[in-house]
């Protein structure tokens, strides 16, 4: 067989090796089975100790539409998405021409001979791979053999970059949980591809990987699993949900880990209930019912589900019923881009409902924080007897991230203020559901089934007195809403405080939240190289901590970086700090892709200019 390297004399002089610092884009069709292959590469790199991230840019479709998976390896630990990739693996005929056009000179492309593609550029290094032929080594037939073609690029790429074979094998073992029948065909294809590459290809590109020790003690998982695990360790006892991208896998992970971790060892019975509801409206209705009756209850959804939950969110705010809502944000408005990421639900969640309702929102900025905030959300919901929103996004939720290991909850489960029959006996029945006896705005509640003749009260979404009886009196209404505000202020002190890095002499402050953190961290180093000093505050919850205004005050100009069109956090900051509003500038982008450090850094410099 002829050497398949598409090198023309004029192109690509062999350069200095570029080690552990580049991005790979794998262009495939969705439903073609490439996920396993991509995850294998990602995990092998991770286990070689190299900081790595993987992001799936996929369509809202079952089969056949273009999908791009990008892997970034970075020796310095920067794992945000990059604007361009140095390596393209082209497996999709429909996009190969456009994909190649986007490549910078000197980069490389591995492409399948099945595309019928003829390279048009001489400033890119091409490797043509007989993927279908290698897949025959798998021993699989039909559709499954098609899937195995993906392992061909795994093998060729691994040979060219120097990804260790043992780690590929271990990664497959990990993914298929040791099931030999699933592992073997993939291993055979990878081996065949590696051998073929060794025999037939001459390496002319500069990209290499080399073992490091920068992922020691770290784990790799997706944010939705982290949210589910947080809830499991937070003692969730009831969950209701409705399928929606990108939140579905929260509920699926929840069911998986609850079964594993929360089955009574003696009776073998579950210590939880998870119900797939008929819609998101019913899902939150069930959660509210369960929370009212004393369960630790949660639901998970995304934008359109949040819209449906508005009715119950406002109701639960006013009737003061604990509930946790995990919102894995996707691009809206409307059906929007269901498979693309966004931070567009900040204002909708904060004010969800009609007539002055507002809710504490937790904004985790890492996978580890998603876990932590999920268990804390269950505590906060019962402590403050109100819905708590945990906002992540598709980038966090559905992509694999390397993360610090999770820490076991460092405080006891908080069940909030609940009066039992013996408490009522002691109080001689003198209690009021909405009475602020402690001055923090939080009343004491009783649970249905409490064996005391005076335990019952009537929960209603209508105006009520502090004893929960119906009232239309202006003073009752106002008194109740004032107390709710007092309660909200109490919550302000209990939700996670911002993380700050104030740099001495910096005129510029950056404010961000959520999944943009890796890009923010990297952008600051890019800016620092240009001599631009920045401080950084990462908001971790709403209502905003008082420290935010002090941060804004300490800087001449504050840029609020976020992934939505209306600059929602910037608006909230201006509302919260009206006297400092003139210092607040919005730096927002909302194109469905995770932010890149370069975009942040360049946009900021433009605004500064």
Partner 1 sequence: MATSTTTQPRGSAKVNRLGLENAIYKGLESTLCNGCGHDSISSRIIDACWELGIKAEYVAKFSGIGCSSKSPAYFLSRSHGFNSLHGRMPSVATGALIANATLTGIGVSGDGDTGSIGFGQFKHAMRRNVPMVYIIENNGVYGLTKGQFSATADVGQELKHAGLNELPPIDLCLEALVADCGFVARAFAGDPKQVTELLKAALSFKGTAVLDIISPCVTFNDKDESTKSYSWGRTHNERIFDVTYVPSYEEITVEYDEGQAEEVELHDGSKIVLKKVDRSHDPTDRMAAIRLMEEAKSKQLFVTGLIYVNSDRPDLRDHEDLPETPLAHLPPSVIRPSKTSLEKLMNEMA
381 CB neighbour count, 10 Å cutoff? 29
Strands 238-241 and 297-301: parallel
| Run of H or E residues at 347 | helix 346-350
- Site for partner 1 contains 270 (CB under 8 A): yes
Q: Among 52, 137, 154, 290, which residue interacts with partner 1 (rule: CB under 8 A)?
A: 290
Choice between 126 and 238, CB closer to partner 1: 238
Q: What is the dihedral of CA 549, 551, 556, 557, to 10 degrees?
A: -80
- Site for partner 1 contains 352 (CB under 8 A): no
We find the least distance from the C-beta atom of residue 335 to partner 1, in angstroms, to be 20
- Site for partner 1 contains 473 (CB under 8 A): no
89 alpha-carbon distance from chain centroid? 26
Q: What is the DSSP string of 535-550?
A: EEEE--EESPPTHHHH
Q: Among 210, 462, 525, 547, which residue interacts with partner 1 (rule: CB under 8 A)?
A: 462
Residue 380, C-beta contacts closer than 8 angstroms, at least 6 positions apart:
360, 362, 388, 491, 494, 495
Token duo for residue 6: 């598409």
Strands 297-301 and 323-331: parallel
- Which residues 537-596 are close enough to bind partner 1 by CB under 8 A? none
We find the least distance from the C-beta atom of residue 449 to partner 1, in angstroms, to be 5
We find the least distance from the C-beta atom of residue 27 to partner 1, in angstroms, to be 28
266 CB neighbour count, 10 Å cutoff? 6
Q: Among 300, 366, 450, 577, which residue interacts with partner 1 (rule: CB under 8 A)?
A: 450
Largest CA distance in the chain: 94
* Per-residue binding letters, 150-169, with partner 1 (x by CB under 8 A): --------------------
Token duo for residue 140: 């699989």
- Site for partner 1 contains 456 (CB under 8 A): yes
Residue 545, C-beta contacts closer than 8 angstroms, at least 6 positions apart:
492, 495, 497, 498, 539
We find the least distance from the C-beta atom of residue 271 to partner 1, in angstroms, to be 5
We find the least distance from the C-beta atom of residue 318 to partner 1, in angstroms, to be 11
- Which residues 227-266 are close enough to bind partner 1 by CB under 8 A? 229, 232-238, 240, 261-262, 264
**189 touches 33 (CB < 8 A):** no
Q: Among 31, 162, 289, 463, which residue interacts with partner 1 (rule: CB under 8 A)?
A: 289
Choice between 294 and 304, CB closer to partner 1: 294
- Which residues 429-448 are close enough to bind partner 1 by CB under 8 A? 446-448
We find the least distance from the C-beta atom of residue 42 to partner 1, in angstroms, to be 13
Residue 180, C-beta contacts closer than 8 angstroms, at least 6 positions apart:
none
Q: Kindly determine how many residues on this chain lie close enough to bind partner 1 according to the rule CB under 8 A.
A: 71
- Which residues 388-417 are close enough to bind partner 1 by CB under 8 A? 405-406, 408-409, 412-413
DSSP secondary structure letter of residue 341: E
Residue 21 phi, psi (nearest 5):
-155, 80
Q: Among 139, 243, 333, 449, which residue interacts with partner 1 (rule: CB under 8 A)?
A: 449
**51 touches 407 (CB < 8 A):** no
Residue 477 phi, psi (nearest 5):
-60, -50
Q: Among 58, 241, 242, 272, which residue interacts with partner 1 (rule: CB under 8 A)?
A: 272
Residue 459, C-beta contacts closer than 8 angstroms, at least 6 positions apart:
292, 319, 321, 468
We find the least distance from the C-beta atom of residue 294 to partner 1, in angstroms, to be 3
Q: Among 451, 472, 556, 579, which residue interacts with partner 1 (rule: CB under 8 A)?
A: 451
Neighbouring-strand partners of residue 388: 324
Judge residue 264's burial from the number of C-beta atoms within 10 Å of its C-beta, 0-12 exposed, 13-18 middle, 19 or more buried: exposed
We find the least distance from the C-beta atom of residue 292 to partner 1, in angstroms, to be 6
Choice between 453 and 531, CB closer to partner 1: 453
Integer Cα distance of 51 and 271 in angstroms: 38
- Site for partner 1 contains 37 (CB under 8 A): no
Choice between 422 and 458, CB closer to partner 1: 458
We find the least distance from the C-beta atom of residue 342 to partner 1, in angstroms, to be 27
Which range in 32-40, 142-150, 459-467, 498-506 contacts partner 1 by CB under 8 A? 459-467
Which range in 142-150, 436-444, 452-460, 574-582 contacts partner 1 by CB under 8 A? 452-460
Which range in 156-164, 279-287, 358-366, 546-554 contacts partner 1 by CB under 8 A? 279-287
We find the least distance from the C-beta atom of residue 193 to partner 1, in angstroms, to be 27
- Which residues 214-233 are close enough to bind partner 1 by CB under 8 A? 217-221, 229, 232-233
DSSP secondary structure letter of residue 137: G
**Residue labelled with tokens 């929103």:** 389
């Amino acid at each position: 067989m002829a050497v398949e390297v598409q090198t023309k004399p004029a192109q690509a002089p062999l350069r200095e090796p570029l080690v552990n610092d580049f991005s790979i884009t794998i262009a495939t069709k969705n439903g073609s089975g490439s996920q396993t292959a991509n995850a294998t590469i990602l995990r092998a790199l991770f286990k070689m100790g190299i900081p790595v991230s993987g992001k799936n840019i996929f369509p809202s479709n079952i089969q056949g539409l273009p999908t791009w998976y990008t892997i970034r390896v970075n020796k310095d630990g920067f794992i945000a998405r990059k604007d361009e990739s140095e390596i393209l693996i082209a497996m999709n005929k429909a996009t190969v021409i456009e994909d190649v056009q986007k490549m910078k000179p000197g980069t490389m492309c591995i492409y399948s001979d099945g595309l019928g593609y003829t390279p048009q550029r001489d400033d890119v290094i091409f490797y043509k791979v007989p993927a279908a032929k290698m897949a025959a080594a798998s021993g699989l037939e039909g559709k499954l053999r098609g899937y195995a073609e993906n392992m061909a690029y795994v093998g060729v790429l691994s040979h060219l970059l120097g990804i260790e074979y043992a780690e590929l094998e271990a990664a497959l073992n990990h993914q298929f949980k040791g099931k030999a029948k699933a592992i073997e065909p993939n291993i055979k294809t990878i081996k065949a591809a590696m051998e073929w590459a060794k025999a037939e290809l001459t390496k002319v590109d500069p990209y290499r990987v080399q073992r490091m020790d920068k992922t020691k003690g770290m784990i790799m998982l997706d944010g939705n699993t982290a949210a589910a695990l947080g809830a499991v360790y937070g003692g969730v006892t009831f969950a209701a949900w409705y399928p929606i991208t990108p939140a579905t896998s929260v509920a699926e992970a929840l069911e998986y880990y609850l079964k594993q971790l929360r089955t009574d060892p003696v009776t073998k019975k579950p210590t939880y209930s998870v119900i797939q509801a008929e819609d998101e409206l019913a899902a939150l209705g069930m959660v509210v019912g369960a929370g009212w009756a004393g369960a630790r209850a949660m639901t998970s959804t995304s934008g359109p589900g949040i819209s449906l939950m508005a009715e119950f969110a406002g109701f639960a705010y006013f009737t003061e019923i604990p509930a946790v809502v995990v919102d894995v944000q996707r691009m809206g408005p409307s059906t929007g881009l269901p498979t693309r990421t966004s931070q567009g639900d900040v204002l909708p969640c904060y004010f969800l409902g009609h007539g002055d309702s507002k809710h504490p929102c937790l904004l985790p900025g890492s996978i580890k924080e998603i876990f932590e905030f999920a268990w804390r959300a269950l505590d906060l919901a019962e402590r403050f007897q109100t819905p708590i929103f945990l906002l992540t996004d598709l980038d966090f939720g559905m992509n694999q991230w390397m993360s610090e290991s999770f820490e076991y909850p460092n405080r006891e489960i908080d069940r909030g203020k609940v009066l039992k029959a013996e408490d009522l006996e002691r109080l001689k029945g003198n209690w009021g559901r909405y009475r602020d006896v402690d001055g923090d705005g939080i009343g004491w509640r009783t649970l249905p089934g409490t064996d005391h003749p005076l335990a019952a009260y009537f929960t209603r979404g209508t105006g009520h007195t502090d004893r929960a009886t119906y009232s239309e009196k202006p003073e009752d209404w106002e008194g109740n809403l004032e107390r709710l505000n007092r309660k909200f202020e109490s919550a302000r002190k209990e939700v996670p405080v911002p993380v700050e890095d104030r740099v001495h002499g910096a005129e510029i402050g950056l404010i961000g939240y959520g999944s943009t953190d890796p890009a923010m961290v990297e952008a600051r180093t890019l800016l620092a190289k240009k001599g631009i000093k920045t401080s950084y505050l990462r908001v971790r919850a709403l209502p905003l901590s008082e420290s935010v205004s002090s941060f804004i005050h300490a800087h001449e100009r504050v840029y609020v970086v976020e992934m939505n069109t209306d600059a929602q956090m910037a608006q909230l900051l201006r509302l919260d700090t009206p006297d400092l509003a003139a210092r607040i500038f919005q730096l927002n982008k909302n194109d469905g892709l995770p932010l890149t450090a370069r975009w942040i850094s360049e946009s900021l410099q433009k605004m500064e200019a």
